[in-house]
Amino acid sequence: MLYYLFQWLYKINLPGAGIFQYISFRAAAAIIFSLVISLLMGKSLIRLLRKKQIGETIRDLGLTGQMEKKGTPTMGGIIIITAILIPVLLLTKLHNIYVLLMIFTTLWLGVLGFLDDYIKVYKKNKSGLPGKIKVAGQVILGLVIGIVICFHPDVVIKEKSKTPVNYVSTNQVFVFENAGNTTTPYSHSKAEHSTKTTIPFVKNNEFDYAWVTRWLGDKDGRWSFLFYIPIIIFIIVAVSNGANLTDGLDGLAAGTSAVIAVSIAVLAYVSGNAIFANYLNIMYIPNIGEVVIFVAALIGACIGFYWWNCFPAQIFMGDTGSLTLGGVIAVLCIIIRKELLIPILCGVFLIQSLSVIIQVGYFKYAKKRYGYDYADKHRVFLMTPLHHHYQKKGFHEAKIVQRFIIFGISLAVLSIVTLKVR
């Protein structure tokens, strides 16, 4: 909303109003706004939740310090969602389709997670929302995202033009943040719908999902959405639940999500800038730069929430936060065409999910073949998700969180390195 106000002020030549045209300025403002909102709102919400006695119900799993957390306020994801949406509504171009998709994703998964927490806290049902309903909600979100990406007229990419152009040197790039008035190799190319994505560490690194249906006889790739949309649904379900599994120690989900968001901000910025996209030889996505402001708000919200959630946590995010964070990260990776980078970028979420899959899969196999007693004594991990395995081994909770975050930072740097290393 402020964007449109300052746009009008710029048109009437108010000095300084033009600064709102810069994505970098609005992204910086979004981080500050979201950080302040989460810090101020956190204190008030914690006080309110304690007054209402809305606390976490803890099941004794034999973990050190676990039962001390009983009664800690939950549903803190409300802080994250609020701290994201307010700066986004104030600072972005709300007619941008990518921004609208991210707002919808945040609200949809926020409501889904809130219902789960509500059932656990108010209905005293530890199981919360049935798993099938959660997955159904995530599938519906994936279907909506997939349909919009495949068919909305504003969701396009640009291939490099083979026509020679007068290229602007990269040392002028900061003057032309949006690359809207410069001549680039994309200037003469046609914007087109595409199901192309980026393959990390590969030269000429674009993969088109339409190739799959062409191989099956669809010469024009018109039916590629039948393959592409299920892939999107799978990614959203997997990453959202991966973040949910990661939310088991104080500050773990918020800290790792903030690190991931910083990488996504870099990837979105260069993908939405024609000059940077050409210099790095990556896919140029018109209008995607506006998403950087959303990601900036996400970074500020995660850091602000971490203030209250770091060990010892004063509030938990609950499914309201964890499902939302995972889903938002998944959709961001999809719309910037970097979803194949998720196993690296979201490696912390991946290993958490894999630890559960391996544990459950091997237990079922061993139980069937050797009996329950053998399967129970020969588990792969002491406990899953993986962070609980290290707790069982005697590591302090705070040390586990910090080491997971360091691991996440390493993966984030590796993800950014893929822009050049192929």
pLDDT means per 10 residues, the chain with 422 residues, are 76 83 94 96 92 74 73 92 97 95 98 94 84 95 96 88 50 48 62 88 86 83 91 97 94 97 97 91 92 98 96 94 97 96 97 97 95 94 95 94 97 95 84
**Helix, strand, coil percent values for the chain (each to nearest 5):** 65, 5, 30
What separation in angstroms does the CA of 112 have from each of 42, 125, 181, 334, 401? Answer: 21, 16, 42, 21, 26
What are the φ and ψ backbone dihedral angles of 164, each rounded to 5 degrees? Answer: -60, 140
Query: What pLDDT is stored for residue 162 in this prediction?
Result: 55
Token output for 300: 């500020």
Question: How far is 89 from 230, CA to CA, in rounded Å?
Answer: 30
Sequence-ordered list of residues with C-beta below 8 angstroms from that of 353, at least 6 positions apart, any chain:
238, 241, 242, 245, 385
State how far the Cα of 11 lies from the Cα of 49, in Å rounded to an integer. Answer: 46
C-alpha 417, offset from chain centre: 19
| Torsion angle of C-alpha atoms 30, 33, 38, 44, degrees rounded to 10 | -160
pLDDT of residue 175: 43
User: Helices 397-417 & 347-370, crossing angle to 10 degrees?
Assistant: 120
pLDDT value of residue 160: 67
Per-residue pLDDT at 331:
98
In whole angstroms, give the CA distance from residue 50 to residue 315.
10
| pLDDT the model gives residue 173 | 41
pLDDT of residue 357: 96
Where is 288: in which H helix or E strand? Answer: none
The DSSP call for residue 73 is B
What's the pLDDT at 171? 43
CB 83 within 8 A of CB 301: yes
> Looking at residue 155, what is its pLDDT?
94
Which pLDDT value is given to residue 161? 60
**pLDDT at site 55:** 76
Q: How far apart are CA 43 and CA 345, in angstroms?
A: 31
